[in-house]
Structures are given as C-alpha cells and as structure tokens.
Amino acid sequence: MSGVYEGYTVVELADRRNQWAGKLLADGGARVIQIEPIQGSPGRWCGPFVDDKVDPERCLDYWWYNTSKQSVALDLARKPAQDLLLRLLAQADIFLESTPPGTLAKLGLDYACVAANRGLIYASLTDFGQDGPWRDLQMNDAAHLALGGQMASSGYSDPKETPIGGHGHQSWHMGCAFVLHGITVALYERMSSGEGQYIDVSIHDACAIGTEAAVPQWMYYGSTMNRQTGMHANPKRQPPLQLPTADGKYMIAVMQNFGPRVWDRLIKWMDEKCVTGELHDPKYQDEAYRMSEYRTGTVVRDAIARLIAASNGEECFHRAQSYGISWGLVHAAEENYDIPHYQQRNYWRSIEHPDIGRALPYPRGPVACDAIQIEPRCRAPRLGEHTQQVLQQDLGLSAQDLASLTASGAIR
Amino acid sequence: MRAKSPVRPGVLSGVRVLDFTWKTVGPWVPRLLTHYGAEVIHVERAGGWDDHRYNATPSIVSDAPQAAQLPGMKKVYADPQFNTLRDEAPAAQSPGQKKLYAAPYFNTLHHGKLAISLNTRSPEGLKIVERLIGICDALVENFSAEVLPNWGLTWERIHELNAKLIYMSASGFGHTGDWKGYRSFGPTAAAQSGLSLASGLPGKPPAGWGFSYLDVMGGWMGGLALMQGLLKAKKTGKGFYIDYSVTEGAMSMLGTYLLDYQVNGRRTRRPDFPPGNRSVFPALAPHNTYRCAGMDRVGQDWWIFIACETQPQFEALCALMGQPQLALDPKFATNEARVAHQDELDAIIGRWTRPRRRYDIMRQCQGAGIVAAVVQSAEDRVEYDPQLQHREMHPIIDHPELGDFAYEGYPVKMSRTPAFVHGRAPTLGEHNQYVYGELLGMSETQIASLREHGVI
C-alpha cells in the first residue's frame, strides 16, 4: 500500500457533511481518527440498515463513508474530553470539522487555540462558511441543491413540474471535493514551509459554482435555463435526448458525429429495424445537410427515436459505441457489478464484515493509480472501537485514567 | 535564466501543466490548479480553436450551406461572431466584431490558463509536443483512448521523455478494459454509472442531472487527483500515470446504494425510487419542494424546498402556517405518521406556499429554525444571493474586450496562502511567444517559419 496520504494523522469530528472527505483521506492511507459523540456519529443513524433494523453499528451509509477510519467516542460537552481532543490536535497533521461556526471557539478548540501546532491544517467544511448573513441558516443536502442552483437546472421539460435534486448527498460531496483540494494543496505547501493553516470551505459556495453554463449564460446573455428531462438544462428548449428502448430502459442519445463512417453504419442499423424512413433521400448523403437537419428539424431525430424504440438497451449501447456514437444507457448503480469492464479494471475491493459473516465488494476511489492508491482498506469502525487504543498509544493514558474517564461518561 | 511566468504567484508556482483538454470535464481539471498559481498551457489546434470558443451560441455552429469548410474541422462560419454581452445581441450579426475568446463558457472554463496553438497532426508539431512534455510537470488530456498513442505518445514514451511527469487521462470509461474505446459525455457517464437513476420522480423517466453534475464534479474529482499526484510526485520525484474514468468516479459516489443492494438486495431500479425530493434514508416528512407565487423568465414556476428534521421544527411550521392543530392530528403528530401521510401533508404545505413569495417563506421558516431554501436560479444567485455577495463568489476581473466583468469564484478560503481567481481566459494563441520563444527558446525566425508552415 502506498496511498498518497500515507504518514499523515487526521482528526475528524464526525459529521455527515465531511465524512466523504475523511474517507478519501483514510482510503488514501492517512490515519483518520474520527471523534464521535458517545451516542455515535449522526451518520450512524440515517439508514439504510442491515436487514432494515435500526442499529448504529449496522448503518450501510456509515459503512460506506467511514471505511479505513478509527473511532474514538468522546463527550465534548465535558472538559476532560475537550482536553483529550486538544491533545490529539497538538500532534495531528489535519483537523477536519463541520460544526456550526462558533461552536468550537466556545469549547476552546478553535484554530487560535490549537495553532501552537505549527504544522496543523485546520479545515472547516460548513454550510455557508465562517461568515456572512446566511451563516447560521438550517440546511441539509437537498436544501443546498435548491439554494446552490442544482435544482433549478434539473428536472423535467414540463415547466409546471417540480425541480429535482438528485439523491446521494451530492451537495456534501461537492463541498468535500473542495475541502480536499485545500487540504492537499496545503500539504504540498507545508512540505516547503513546515507551516499549516486554516481552511474555510462553504458548501453553498461550492454548489454555487457547480451549475456548469447556467451562471455564464445569465452573466453574458441574461438567459434563464429551462429544465429538460434527463438532459442538460438550456436557454432554448430542445428535443428530447433521453429516449425509451424496446425493453423499457432509456438511452442518452447524444449525437455529435455525422461523418460518413458513422452515418453509413447508423443507416444500415436503421434498415435492419425498418425505421430509416426518408433518410434514404439522397440529400442526407451530405454531411452538412444531415447535421443541420438534426440541429433544427425532426426527421433525423425521429428516426433515431424509432431506432432506439426498436432496440434493447444493451444492444443499443454496444452497437452505437462500436460505431463511434457516444450513446449511454441509464443503468442502475447495482447493475454495474455484473459488467466485465469494471472487473477487468479491478474496480471492486473486497472488504471483510465479520458482523454479517461475509465480505462486500466496495468501489475503489475515483481514479486507477497505484501511486495515489485511494481505495477502501478496511471496514468502518464500531463506535468507540479505537478509544482505548488511541488514548493509550497516542496520549499515554493509563488503564486507570481510561477507567475513570469511562465511568464519568467522558469517553466510551 | 528562467523566463518570467505570466501567471500570478501562488502555492503551485513553478508547476507547469500541459493541457490537451476540451469540452467541459477535462478543462476543469487543470483549471483548478490555476487558483494556486500553476502555469497551465492550454493547447488548441492551429487553424482551429477549442469547441467552447465557438459553442457560444447555437447560431455560431453553421447550419448554412455557405459555411466555409476549414480543413479537418467542423464546419463553422469563416468569420464567426460572438454574441458576448447581453446588451450586444446585434453583435452576432454585425461584421467586424470578432470575439473568439470571449465566448462565455470558454471564458469560464479556461480562465487563468495560457493558450498556444499547435498542429499536432504534423511531425514538426509532434516534436514540439515532445519538447513541451520535457518541460512540464503534468500532462492532462480527455481525448478518446487511442488519440495519444496514435501520436506515438504511449505512457512508456511519455515517461521516457520526462520521468518526473504525471500523465492523467480523463475519459468516460478509462483506458483499459473492454470499454476503453467507448466515448462519453457528462450525461452519458451519469446514465451509465447509476447517477441518473438516482434523480427523478417515481413512475416517471429519470430526471437526470441537468446542471450536468459529472461535467462539473467529474472535473473537480479529476482536479483533486491531479493535486494528489503533484503531492506524491513532490515526495518521490517520480512521474506516474493516472487513469481517470469519470464513470468510475461517479460510481464511487453511489456506495451506499451499492452496499444496500449487496446486503439487503434493494435495487435502485424499483418502482418507488427515485423518490423525487423526498427523503427515504432517513424517512422524513415534510421534505419536499413546494410551489410559490410567481414564475421565472421562461415560465417555470418558482419553488421552495422545506424540510422538518425534528418535532420542534414541524410544530414551528404548523404555527407559521396558522394551523397549530395539525401537529396534534394523529396523521401528522409523529414523523412516522407524517411519512405515511406525506401526500396529504405536502398538499397542505403546498396550499400555504402557493400564494406566498419564496424569499418571504424562506425568511420566515429559517427564522423559526426550519430547513427552507429557495430553488435559486443563476440570476437569483448572481443578482440577489447576499451570502455569495458577502463571500465574493463573483469577483470582477478585467478583460481586454469585455472590460471589467464578473466571474465565478473559487470556494477554498485559505488563511496563509490564499487561492485566487487571477484571470480571464486566454485569447487564441495568446501565449505562443512566451511558450515557444521564452520557454522553448525558439528564435523569431523559427517561430515565423512554424507559423508559415501551419504548425503553430
């Protein structure tokens, strides 16, 4: 194992917003100590659960976002626990936290209080950052997709239909991407200067620059985006690109190449399905003509829709791709397990779960690269699984210290 | 003597990236490094230009038979005009106003980069690519898998040219495996990964991600991997190859669904999924979008998102709506009951929001501690959003043609080594002189000759 974050120690204050960032640090080889409240991270309580039975040790969402981490359970409302965290931060490389602004200052744990550790990179990922008029608003993942502009561009072509925010904590992912940019660049800089610093990332800021052309379209043209079913929002309403297949699936039929090689094979395929219609007219032999007709008319588009409606999804995808046409099939996430391509690329990592008596195939990190090597290394920790180990080994606490802290409820 | 870089100094000063990206997801990757002072050299084909320079408006790409055919390129008007400012709509028709580099999306995606033109199809051009590889720290491209090897630039060759260089290919499906030749765009990668099927109303076609999540986040994940690559290379001094598949990146954001399938056998392809804007894990109600008074400039209704995650929040909402008795109604008294009756509950809340102004609702709800967020458009964010204004997320930057103009900011605030948005996008071939003359040490005569032969 030679993960890019090997050798760094991270202290992460458990929160649903930042846990993906902590996971990528841990999967990348860092030692990530997640500080959980005594009753467990909020990430342990959201579900789905194993067999749908509520159990903080068996929350699958927590399992996914906390691979390769250690868990230390502290009651930070108590002074002795605050002192323990302060001592852990004194020897950490990175602190990752998502508490409402001001919270840690009250506990004597803000950046000023721990900056004596000159190398510490203290990263706060919060809903709105550390300042501003909306700083203290109540938010969740979907609320960010609304306020940040994602929903305004996602949904259905029917203008009366609701905007849609997709699922899977995507606004938090966007915030995590930027906090990791900051942390990674700060580590790079620290190699020369030896100095850490404070990083303030706002999820709202991150979402706000994540709407592709919507902001430039407004700034340059004063245009408003129309939501369009299954495709890019656009200032102009466009014909559908997400088309139903014969077997009840959907193709994303983005057509950009109208060259003769692609065209001839497409027509032959249409002939097979008896859907070519007037595309046999010689005028479609002219590339410029057919491209123009596609952009402004309905003849080419209708024929493509008929072709897709007459073909099964998988057939359609592979055949189009083999012709150099970049169509995609709407898959379900779980269907990717059966695709040889990802197996050939060694995409799945087998992680042992003794609690359920089997190993589970986890996706590796976003990139295939041995030198960076970000991939799940072991299952998520049980609540407080490493409390004793960390406090003994890192802070030199005795068995007696631990017993009295446990008895007082400061640790678990 | 080291040539003076035209880019603003930052944490990544001295890092030089050769950028062969186009479309959307690719350009984001190296652009993220410009916020830290890296020198990113964006390569455009001599005699042509990046897609997004001419994708400015649909009218730019020719639909007309009289379009000039440029060699090896799409058909474009010989004299493309760019409608660059909202008050300048007639500019699209008036001749003599060339604004090739002011195309909005290009200006957004490539700001802070340097631009050179180069004909990579000529042997002389390829020699220059090899020399550039020799003086760069990273090379990023998002072509199809066969393009660089067709130029003779396999990973082995690249590594031989510069053993310290990091090479990243950003592609739809990666550069190995059965599908390495398959092509994709953001929406196709979203479809293939399973993301599209995680967005939409039950019983309707997938809504997908109309802001093109993967074109954006795909670039941010790639940019992260490039930064990680630079960190690693700074430690070891060794170059390596990063094979980035955007689809795999997307799948790695769907882990919870994958584990739910493995453990519970629950599929995302099921009748009640995706659940619109409702929350399934945890099951919460209310948690939805609600129609407000008014509509946007293209006739889409205005909406607000409201959620109650705690009992006090729900009681506060009932009080705000002037219906405190709702919280006592057995159908709505507990979260579990509300989830079971959420169609009815959503209708009640929708009747309350429908005649009301969206920002008033947000203010009132937030004042009572309830999660509430207006579904903001780009206009709302740029012209109104007080938080983004406070955080200076639309900084003003000078541009030779546009003058002072607003750009999207960069959301990482670092205390000691601030990141920045330091520039507009480069004009076509703007940095030929710096790169060929100063970095590669070519003489005026050599550069003129290359220009004459169509190499640059």
Which candidate, A324, A305, A161, A158, places its Cα nearest to that of A242? Answer: A305
Q: What is d(CA A18, CA A192) in angstroms, rounded to the nearest whole number?
A: 27
- Give residue-wise pLDDT tens across range A56-67: 999 999 999 999
Which residue ranges does chain B devote to CATH 3.40.50.10540? 16-55+103-251+394-452
Q: Give the separation between CA A126 and CA A177, rounded to whole angstroms.
A: 13
Rounded distance, CA A111 to CA A123, Å? 9
Q: Nearest-CA neighbor of A225 among B187, B407, B378, B381? A: B378
pLDDT mean across residues, chain B: 87
Say which residues have a Cβ less than 8 Å from residue B166's Cβ, sequence separation at least 6. B137, B138, B139, B226, B229, B230, B233, B239, B240, B241, B242
Q: Which residues of A fall within a CB distance of 8 Å from B223?
A: 181
Task: For residues A161-176, give the mean pLDDT.
Answer: 98
Mean pLDDT lowest among B72-81, B102-111, B296-305, B391-400: B72-81
State the nearest Cα–Cα gap between A120 and chain B, in angstroms.
12
SS3 assignment, position B278: coil
- What is the mean predicted confidence (pLDDT) over A343-370? 96
Residue B86 predicted with pLDDT over 60: no
Is B239:B232 a contact under the CB 8 Å cutoff? Answer: no
pLDDT in tens, A138-158: 999 999 999 999 999 999 999
Residues in B closer than 8 angstroms to A347, CB to CB, are 248, 251
Q: Among A55, A161, A209, which would you mutate to test the B interface (most chain B Cβ atoms within 10 Å of its Cβ)?
A: A209
Whole-number mean pLDDT of chain A?
A: 96
Question: Which pLDDT does position B149 carry in this prediction?
Answer: 95
pLDDT (0 to 100) of residue B402: 64
Choose which CATH entry (3.40.50.720, 3.10.420.10, 3.40.50.10540, 1.10.150.20) describes domain B16-55+103-251+394-452. Answer: 3.40.50.10540
The Cα of B442 is separated from the nearest Cα of chain A by a number of Å equal to 33
B64, with CB counted inside 10 A (0-12, 13-18, 19+), is exposed
Of A147, A227, A365, the CB nearest to B376: A147
A5 contacts A28 by C-beta, under 8 angstroms: yes
DSSP category for residue B173:
S
Q: Which fold has domain A9-210+346-408?
A: Rossmann fold (3.40.50)
Distance CA B393, CA B387 (A): 9
- Predicted local distance difference test score (pLDDT) of residue B103: 67
Nearest to A4 among B63, B232, B267 (CB): B232
* Nearest chain A alpha carbon to B68: A288
* CB neighbourhood size of B439 (10 A): 21
Give the pairing of strands A367-368 and A358-363.
unpaired
Residue range(s) in chain B whose domain bears CATH number 3.30.1540.10: 287-295+297-376
Q: What is the pLDDT of residues B393-426, one digit of tens each?
A: 999 887 666 667 788 999 999 999 999 997 788 8
Nearest to B410 by CA among A198, A199, A42: A199
In sequence order, which ranges of B321-407 are alpha helices (DSSP H)?
335-340, 342-353, 358-367, 378-379, 386-390
Quote the DSSP letter at residue B426. P
Burial A375-403 (b: 16+ CB within 10 A, else e): bbbebbbebbbbbeebbeebeebeeebee
Angstrom CA distances, B294 to B64, B248, B298, B357, stand at: 39, 41, 11, 7
Query: What gap in Å lies between CA B152 and CA A151, rounded to an integer?
Result: 44
Which chain B residue shows the shortest CA-CA distance from A127? Answer: B387
Q: In this complex, do B104 and A341 lie within 8 Å of one another by their Cβ atoms?
A: no
Which residues of B are less than 8 Å from A210 in CB distance? Answer: 211, 213, 216-217, 220
CA distance B345 to chain A (A): 17
pLDDT recorded at residue B106: 80
The pLDDT of residue A162 is above 50? yes
Which of B176, B220, B390 lies at the smallest CB-CB distance from A345? B176
Mean pLDDT of B248-263: 98
CATH-assigned architecture of domain B287-295+297-376 = 2-Layer Sandwich (3.30)
Looking at residue B439, the DSSP 8-state letter turns out to be I
For residue range A277-299, what is the model confidence (pLDDT) as tens digits?
999 999 999 999 998 899 889 99
- pLDDT tier at A256 (50, 70, 90 boundaries)? confident
Query: Are the Cβ atoms of B251 and A363 closer than 8 angstroms?
Result: yes
The domains of chain A are located at 9-210+346-408, 250-329
Residue whose pair of structure tokens reads 């073909």 in the numeric block: A311
**Closest among B346, B153, B166 to B239, alpha carbons compared:** B166
pLDDT digits (tens, 9 = 90+) for A174-224: 999 999 999 999 999 999 999 999 999 999 999 999 999 899 888 877 889
pLDDT classification of A2: cutoffs 50, 70, 90? confident
